[in-house]
Amino acid sequence: MTIVWPRKACDEDDEITERARKFIAENPQVWASFVRYARALIATGRRRGSADLVVHRLVWDRNIETSGAEPYKINGHYTAIFARWFHIAYPEYAGFFETRKRKSGAEVEL
């Protein structure tokens, strides 16, 4: 699975975005699970969804359902970043997750 990363980082949210990139680079299965659960949520017919729900689902599965697996600890600030990346990687679902304007006002760019 290819992760689409924003090319340009030019706002005060850069530090969190960079930490999220590093986290996904070290844990690519988290992104794969996020995409899988987001698509499952979309498949239910909902027009809008919660990225927070998706993140909590993957944490639950890893921490409760998978015996012997190292638990995930996902920074809550990453949820909005994952939602934006999902919209970029899968533009047909743009807007499925509600995202607020970033503190800097800058949009994530490709």
- What pLDDT digit, counting tens, does each position of 98-108 carry? 887 655 555 55
Mean pLDDT, residues 23-39 = 91
The closest alpha carbon to 51, from 62, 66, 41, belongs to: 41
What is the pTM assigned to this prediction? Answer: 0.77
Q: Mean per-residue pLDDT for 13-17? A: 79
pLDDT of residue 73: 80
The CA distance from 14 to 70, in Å, is 28
Rounded Cα distance, 84 and 67, in Å: 31
Mean of pLDDT values over 33-37: 95
Q: Which of 2-6, 13-17, 23-27, 48-52 comes out lowest in average pLDDT?
A: 2-6
**The pLDDT of residue 7 is above 50:** no
Q: What is the pLDDT of residues 51-86, one digit of tens each?
A: 999 999 988 887 776 556 677 788 888 999 999 999
- How many angstroms separate the CA atoms of 19 and 98, rounded? 22
Listed by start position, the domains of the chain span 14-93
Check pLDDT > 90 for residue 38.
yes
Q: Which residue has the tokens 């409760």?
A: 64
